[in-house]
Every structure is written in structure tokens, then in C-alpha cells.
Amino acid sequence: LMVTPKESHPRVTELLLFIFFTSVFTPPKILDLHLPETNRFPRPCLFLQVNGEKERLSLLVSRGSVDAVSQQMASHPQYLESFLRTQHYILHMDGPLPLPYRHYIAIMAAARHHCNYLVYLHSTHFLRVGGDPKWLQGLEAAPPRLRLLDHINKVLAHQPWLTACSHIQTLLKAGEQCWSLAELVQAVVILAHCHSLCSFVFGCDTDADFVPLSSKSPNGTPPTFCPFDAANGNTNVPQSHATPSEHITGRPVKIHFLIISFPVIVSFKDTEEEEEMICLADPSRFITDPDFCYQEFARKEEDHFQVFRVQDYSWEDHGFSLVNRLYSDIGHLLDDRFRSVATLSSLHSDDLKRAIWNYIHCVLGIRYDDYDYGEVNQLLERDLKLYVKAVACFPDSTKTPVCPLRWTPLKTSERIHINLLIMEARLQAELLYALRAITQYMIA
């Protein structure tokens, strides 16, 4: 693969290169790749010339390179790069969990919020990496070890302050079905990542536009979908409904793509059965206790939950070092995401961004002793507060419709920025609760 920029913004070129080169080639249902040596050489190259942002994105989507979520984030390329690196690492790079387990855990996480978009996409990837189609019949069809994650999945998704040392102990001492500490940490990171991504998906209405077509042509693909799939003939990837309404750069870009097509022999087995499994992958079949949902952290009549004080356990001083020790390098990737979203250029003041972040942590039971919470009411209008809380705590409309926000004065990138802040604040909150419980187990 070669990308030759002409008159293009260097940051855009860098991002495009990143999206292409971080993809992993996982062709669906490949059963036989015994190719003669003479056929291992690439076919003639296909040159594509692109003029303008809209045409460029259209090409990338048609080649299976950019999903709807990435298109939304593309207005903030420096953040998108950090997001894609993290997601690629936890789903595809070295780690204690097998690839099918990772995508099934992602399905379980997305199902808690009835996020059809993510459930469908991870179901597709679950099959691509060799997952057993029978598992998609529901949680009861999954291995016992995965079913053991159901409780912590439920708690982290809706009431993370309930996460306790006892939950960790149950998973690590479950006899033959027990989890190792490294496996559990990776599972928790995937759960928190997908829960928070659900908030972004619903906040940007990506799920509302999603209509499953078939297992071979999902509406958008995860950012790790490889463009070589299209080169191999799998071009039935429709454009997503969500496209950025503003340019990343202020001038047209002209980029030449050199896409190399590799010959691949693909054998299909039980295609119709597997396609039906995906289409029938109703999110509700991957969860238990569907009535369990977000509740106000501190009700006056039952204020018995202890506030999580950042001064006692913080990401910078405790969570980062623990997760990095148990799951190599993920701490650096997550920390880069938190820093990227905080430093994005924006019309919003730093005080407003801090107020949004701290407000989300507050409704999830996390408090900062050195912060004046009076600033939240001063800086956040009522509509914005309602929207932020809804997207962070109960994003799926099956329980409470997401409160509409008057977006008129805001540019597209500003709207996306608010949703990115919500997603990252929620991600860090879930990680803090889970990692604190793991720490308590380790020192008990």
C-alpha cells in the first residue's frame, strides 16, 4: 500500500496512513489459503485519484476503511488517531485473551445499552476471527467463563460504584472457569471501552441510522476492517449514513492511492447459517437482568454509597500504573486518549470542558475535593446538563430518550467534541472503579 499526497495537509495524510496501516487482514470465513508460490505475487496495482474531502471519505468508506464512528471523529484527527490505536490494540494486538473472546466481550458490553450498531459489527468480526457461530444464539450458548463476566458487565455499565472486591474474587477463584488477573484486566478494558463508545454512538445518532443488511455488507465496519478486503473482491460495503459536514482542512486535498490486490483463495462454509446468526443477534439475548439500569448515585432517602474520592485513588497515581503493569502498554494508550480529548482545540473554554468532565464523574459517584462544583451550574446550561447526563448514564432510548440539545450555535466539530468528552470521562470513571476493586483484591 502506498499513499502519495499532493497539495494535502500533512496531518490529514498522516491520519490516512494510520487508518490504512493499523488495519488487520482478517478475511471472513477463510478455510484454505494454500497458494502456489507463483500466485503469491500481487496483481497489477490500482491507482485511484481523489479530489476533495467528500470524495476521499467516500473512497475510504467504499473500500471498507472507515466506519461511521470514525467518520464522526474525523473532525478531530489527532484524537481519532489515539482512539484507533487503542481500539486496534485491545481488539487485535497481543494480549491474554483469544480474539473471539475479545469480540464476544464487546458484544456483551454493547448489548447492555441495546446498541445494535456495535453488536452487529462485533458479531461480524467475531465470525471473521473464527468465533463459534453458536455463541451468537445468546449468552447461554457462550462458554461458562464468558458468562461469569455478565455481572461485572452489568454493574460497570449502569452503576459502576457497585463494583466491589468480591466481584473480582469471584472471577479469579471460580475453579476450572477462573480468570487470570491479566485476562480480567483486558476484559475490563474492553467492557469499559465499549460501554463508553455506546454513549458516543447514541450521542451522534449513529445507531439510529443503522440498518443491518447482511453479514457481508454491514453499514460501516470497525476501524480495524482492512482495505485489502475490498481489493480481494469484498466491495459490498455501503457508505455509512453519517458523514462529516465540514472539512478537516480549509482547502481541497488531492491524494493518490495505490491499492495492491493480493490473490486469495476463499472457501465458504455455512454462509447462510452464519449470516442468519448475525442478523438474529438481538442485543437482549446477550444480557441478563434487563431491568437493571442507572440509578441516581446518592438519593436522599438512601445515601449509603461511599463517594469515590479522586484524592484517594486517581488515574494518574494509581490506575495508570496498575493497568500498565497487568496489561502491557495499554496504560500509555489510554492516557494518550484522555490527554488528547482534553487538549483538542475548541471554542469551548478549558473551564467548560473541565466542568463537563467533572459533572459526568459526579453523577457516577466520583468527586474532586479541589474542585468547586458551583462552576458546573454556572458554566453548563440546563439543556446541556440534561444531555450530558443522559448520554453518559442511559444513552440507549429503550429506557430514557436522549434529551435533545439545541445544537444550532455549534459547529459539527464542537458537537463531536462534547460527545468525545462524555465518552472519555465515562471510560475513565469505569476504569477507576474496576481498577480500584482489583487493587483492593490484590492487597487483601
Residues annotated as catalytic (active site), given as ranges:
115
Half-sphere exposure of 235 (CA within 13 A, CB side): 8
Which residues on neighbouring strands pair with residue 46, listed in sequence order? 259
Secondary structure class of 233 (helix, strand, coil)? coil
DSSP 3-state percent helix, strand, coil across the chain (nearest 5): 55, 5, 40
Q: In this structure, how many other beta carbons lie within 10 angstroms of the beta carbon of residue 47?
A: 11
114, 72 Cβ separation under 8 angstroms: no
Q: CA-CA distance, 414 to 41, in Å (whole number)?
A: 46
Which is nearest to 420 in space by CA: 200, 257, 211, 114?
Answer: 200
Question: If you compute the radius of gyration of the chain from its CA atoms, what whole number of angstroms results?
Answer: 22
- HSE-up of residue 375 (Cα within 13 Å, Cβ side): 16
CA distance 316 to 368: 14
Q: Which residues contact 170 (CB under 8 A, 6 or more apart)?
A: 148, 151
| Beta-carbon contacts of residue 17 (< 8 Å; ≥ 6 apart) | 3
Burial label for 360, CB within 10 Å (0-12, 13-18, 19+), is buried
What's the CA gap between 363 and 299, in Å, rounded? 11
